[in-house]
Amino acid sequence: MQGPPPAGQHQPKLLLIGDSGVGKTCLIMRFADDNFSASFTSTIGTATRIDFKLKSMKIDGQELRLQIWDTAGQAYYRGAHGVMLVFDLTSAQSFTSVRSWMRNITEYAGKDILKVLVGNKCDLAEKRAVPADKCEALAKEYDIPYFEVSAKAGTNVEEAFVNIATRIKREVIDALPASEEPVSVDKPVGSSKDWNRAIRMRGGSATTDGSSSGKATTSCCGS
């Protein structure tokens, strides 16, 4: 399945972002391979890290291959069509970081990139640290869909990926002029001038690549 896409097939790029340990790699493994690993190997600095996985999907009767990119502390938005922003329902800090990640997305990928907010580890109900109404309020504030999922149990994982893939298909691919080449990583759709810039985020603070780290705040949006 990792060969070149059949001629004419769209291969849109979806990026998973969020704090370390929220379960980004596990969500990709669950969705693409339908398995789960309980041991934690941070994607940062591991030789075995995955760059992306391909998942064939049929949406509105049309076959497309979703490129699902894992990130490790730095997000390369270049060519991305959608972002899945993940936090951990058992970690209040990871929820607080959502605002920083949203600013980061807006700054480097543009405000129009398609987004979905995902609260992972809903199987750990007794350890839950972020109430559902707060999650829903945040998603409403940003006007993006929200899913509570579990990579471990498989709950809602498919639904969250299908949601963002369907919106990419309908709002990006269907909007292409008939003469346009298929969507792929090399042909980003959108007008952001910042595709080439890499963003580094650690511990909830965002900086541009290589510069010193600014303190993250929990205050709303801003510039």
Q: Which is nearer to ligand GTP, 55 or 152 (CB)?
A: 152
List the x/- string, 42-81, binding to Mg ion by CB under 5 A.
-x--------------------------------------
List the x/- string, 5-44, binding to ligand GTP by CB under 6 A.
---------------xxxxxxx----------xxxx-xxx
- Give the integer Cα–Cα distance in Å for 114 and 168: 7
State the sign of the Cα–Cα–Cα–Cα dihedral 182, 108, 139, 127. positive
Q: How far is CA 2 from CA 6, 11, 56, 149, in A?
A: 11, 12, 10, 27
Kindly state the smallest distance separating residue 218's Cβ from ligand GTP, in Å. 21
Sole window of 7-15, 37-45, 77-85, 144-152 interacting with Mg ion (rule: CB under 5 A): 37-45
129 binds ligand GTP (CB under 6 A): no
Pull the structure tokens for residue 50. Answer: 């995955």
Provide the b/e sequence for 103-121 (b: ≥16 CB within 10 Å): bbbbbbbbeebbbbbbbbb
- Give the integer Cα–Cα distance in Å for 157 and 160: 5
Q: Which residues bind Mg ion (CB under 5 A)?
A: 24-25, 43
Binding site for ligand GTP (CB under 6 A): 20-26, 37-40, 42-44, 72, 120-121, 123-124, 150-152
